[in-house]
Amino acid sequence: METTDKLDNISLCEPRVDDCQLWDVFLGIYGYSALLIAHRMKLFAILAKKPHTLEEICSILDIKSRPAEALLVAAVNLGFLRIKDGKYLLMPVAEEYLLENSPNYFGYYWDIIIDNHEVYSFASLEKAICTDTAQAYGGGDVFKSHEENNESALKFTRAMHSVSMGSAQAWPKFINLSKYRLLLDVGGGSGAHSIGAVSKWSKLQATIFDLAPVCTIAQEFIDKYALHERINTYAGDMWNDAFPSADLHFYSNIYHDWTPEKCLFLTEKSFKSLEQGGRIIVHELLYNDKKNGPFSAVGCSMLMLGWAEGKQYSGKELSKMMQKVGFKDIQVIPTFGYFSIVTGVK
């Protein structure tokens, strides 16, 4: 429609649809911010000790009633809190994932989001889109930074452990691993998925294959779960170093960091490394086959623009990669929340 400054040229035209979608997109950023601020202010930990009224929360957090009410109502609306007899209580999702003493604590992932908040700004995402380059850590190579900076490696590995433990305990229930002896957890980070797999399958051992600084951190998690007799680490670079012997290769949230060409390289490397009957499992948050949703995959692809060179894939795309290099009996299996596994056999 041609624009004009002449008011007498404008005709009224009632909208064919309402504008709720526009408001939902715009206002969604405030729900995101509200929950992260509540987490940073330790609101969930406070309410875990005992329910509180609005006035009590104002006093504990040392904030005024107006912002406190806005924060609390946002948390209620998003399903993390509820109100009973004028007091705010935690919902099960907050108890399960937002309390530090929970084995499924998600908060370390939120911490790294807060600490790198500039990556999620309009300016940063616009630059990522216009230049097709990651913006995290000042635009440097994220994984090289972890190799050179132990503190960055620790924070990132802890964050990925935080976001992984729920799904790590779920996917091993959806596939029979009784015939396999050794899982190679490629780019395994903290070893969350190794921990989940060996805890479910009593005859299974696991090796976490990652960069040397990450292996040191992983050992702390292995010791924490008292699994040092069943899980070990192997320092290496998945692009340049040979994989140690294993009959099961596992990748979680690895493929989405890389281009299709690099994902195909890893798929083929696993195929060549595995013996006949060996299995590959790729654990990812998948697009549907039409690649128009779900929104979780859409959002994660936007997330990848800021952090890496990859994107989310569909089960169909990952299946084609496996088929191309020679894997058979390929399956796409939904497992936990938004996650699925794609698996094939040599």
pLDDT at position 3, please? 53
Instruction: Show the domains of the chain with their CATH numbers.
Output: 20-102 (1.10.10.10), 109-345 (3.40.50.150)
The torsion angles phi and psi of 160, rounded to 5 degrees, stand at -70, -30
DSSP-H helix ranges across the chain: 20-40, 43-49, 54-61, 65-77, 92-97, 107-115, 122-131, 136-139, 142-148, 150-168, 192-200, 212-224, 260-273, 295-307, 315-325
pLDDT at position 332, please? 99
Q: Which long-range contacts (CB under 8 A, 24 or more apart) does 122-126 make?
A: 124/306, 125/302, 125/305, 125/306
Reply yes or no on whether 256 is catalytic.
yes
Q: pTM, whole model, 2 decimals? A: 0.93
Q: Tokens 């309009």 appear where? A: 122
Low-confidence ranges of the chain (pLDDT < 70): 1-8
Write down the catalytic residue from 52, 146, 249, 256: 256
pLDDT at position 1, please? 46
Task: Mark residue 45 as left, alpha or beta (left: phi above 0; alpha: psi -120 to 50; beta: remaining).
Answer: alpha
From residue 287, alpha-carbon distances to 44, 63, 145, 223, 266 in Å are 32, 42, 29, 35, 20
Task: Mark residue 242 as left, alpha or beta (left: phi above 0; alpha: psi -120 to 50; beta: remaining).
Answer: beta
pLDDT at position 7, please? 58
